[in-house]
Amino acid sequence: MNEVDRYLQALDAALAKVPLHSRQAIADDVRAHIADALEEGREPGSVLAALGAPEEVARAAREELGEAPGEEPIVRADPATKAQRLLLWAALAIGVVTAVLITFLMPMYEGISTETTVDGVEITTTATATLFEEMGIAVGLIPLLPAALVLLPLLLPERLQRPFGWGVAAAVTVFSVIAGFTIGAFYLPMAFVLWAAMLVPVWIRCGRHPRSGLAWRVAGALAIALPVVLVLVAALGRTVELVAVPFGLTAAVVLVVAVLFGMRRPYADVVAAVLGAGMMLAAVLPGDLLMMAFWWTGGLWLTIGLSAIAARISAPSSGSGG
């Protein structure tokens, strides 16, 4: 057992009379602060000395929670639960937007009609229709089912939120596969965020270990840069054709964001999320299903950004970065 583990054990003992829920929240905040300081290269001894004795930290933390001597400690949500709920709400929002897009905006059906004029000239007309226009409101509401499922882990008691969350993530993933390319594929970004809502809290509950935090950031940076690299490789192999200047500018922005994210620069996570949302918007504006790759790429970037944001703001004492 190293000195950090001994310190945390002593802190847990100092918080013995605090209800478990509040004790976990306080310990998670202190653990996150220590992990961030160690990631910055500080020595464990100096970090612990700056924090003060475990008894002092416990007393200060209880005062910060608003507890007066002799009163019951105030119960607050632990950081992992907070991050999970933030990402679940984000998944719900993405699900609703996706359903509206599929039902009311995207042309899902195409019909061809031929008419003959009095002069004997045939006129062929092509018409498109949305899911709502073609099938009516009953079928048009089906795309809302994945979003409705997300309400379960949000509204159920806390002890049921995690198991139902895993189930909903799996269900939406299956739906995105079996519902076909023209409908189900749109739900992959929602599935990405749902899996993030389950995995980010696991990392937080494991103590935000510096090595795992570094691994997550490097993986996130590589995932941000990967689509650009794949397109560049395809262009070099003449599989796709690119307009040099627009692609070059876009690639430069994406690679800079990837580097900043990997270096844990402040609010690089926000930029990644905004970049992802913008890519998703750009994918659907033409109304072309061939833009699905852009939709998935944007969903991936949005998930990475939202995951880092949720991890960062769920632990206010840990500073910026995810």
Cβ-contact 208, 202 below 8 angstroms: no
pLDDT in tens, the chain (322 residues): 678 888 888 888 887 767 666 777 778 788 888 888 887 778 888 888 888 888 888 777 666 655 544 444 445 557 888 899 999 999 999 999 999 988 887 776 666 666 766 666 667 666 666 777 777 787 778 889 999 999 999 999 888 889 999 999 999 999 999 988 878 899 999 999 999 999 999 888 776 665 667 788 899 999 999 988 888 888 777 766 666 677 788 889 999 999 999 888 878 999 999 999 999 988 887 655 557 888 999 999 999 999 999 988 876 444 434 4
- Gap between the Cα atoms of 135 and 130, Å rounded: 8
- Gap between the Cα atoms of 313 and 294, Å rounded: 28
Which pLDDT does position 303 carry in this prediction? 96
Cβ-contact 320, 261 below 8 angstroms: no
Query: Which of 177, 221, 172 has its CA nearest to residue 193?
Result: 172
Which pLDDT does position 320 carry in this prediction? 39
Extents of the domains making up the chain: 3-64, 80-107+136-318
Cβ-contact 18, 62 below 8 angstroms: yes
Identify residue 251 by its one-letter amino acid code: A
CB atoms within 10 A of CB 285: 9
pTM of the model: 0.71
Which pLDDT does position 77 carry in this prediction? 59
